Amino acid sequence: MLKGFKNFLMRGDIITIAVGLVIALAFSTLIKAFTDFVINPVVARLQGGQSVGLGWQLGEEGNDATYLDLGQFISALIYFIIFMAVIYFCIVVPYKHYQSRHGVAVFQEPGPVKTCPACLSEDLPAAASRCLHCTSEQPPTVGAGSARV
């Protein structure tokens, strides 16, 4: 039982995912510090005066629970956009390039699909001659085969 678990953990894709998650966590910490110490002060300054941030006090003055802090929301949105851009350009793009050099297509657009008229499954490849689910014959798709005259 433990040998099977070890084999599962030592599969290449599990290791790749684990390394990707660790790298993402490191980038997350770096980007969080950037938004907390660079973006937040800029957004708070936009409010001006003695305000604690960009937002409005909905209840009594000084009650943090009733302060509508739009600055923190804007900061979180900027954090998310920066984080996703870093993940895409530092992890996804190099991974796609690496896999394409080994003949594996990853993160590609799905091919054209059609719907089975018998069982209404919507995930059949356009060139399929039988349904994956009910095994009924599929009518030929226009343009799927070569036309002979």
One digit per residue, the tens of pLDDT, for the chain of length 149 reads 677 777 766 666 776 777 778 888 888 888 888 888 887 777 777 766 666 667 777 878 877 777 777 777 888 888 888 888 888 888 788 888 888 888 877 777 777 788 888 888 888 888 888 888 898 888 877 654 444 43
Entry pTM: 0.53
Check residue 21 and give its pLDDT: 83
Backbone dihedral region of 140: left (phi > 0), alpha (psi from -120 to 50 degrees) or beta? beta
Q: Quick check: helix, strand or coil at residue 46?
A: helix
Q: What is the predicted pLDDT for the residue at 52?
A: 65
- Helices (DSSP H) in the chain: which residue ranges? 2-9, 12-34, 40-47, 70-87, 93-101
Nearest to 84 by CA among 24, 17, 18: 24
**pLDDT of amino acid 148:** 41
Which amino acid is it at 32?
K
**Element at 125 (helix H, strand E):** strand 124-125
5: tokens are 């678990």
The Cα 42–Cα 17 span in angstroms is: 36
* The pLDDT value given to residue 9: 65
Which residues make beta-bridge pairs with 12? none
Strand partners of residue 130 = 137
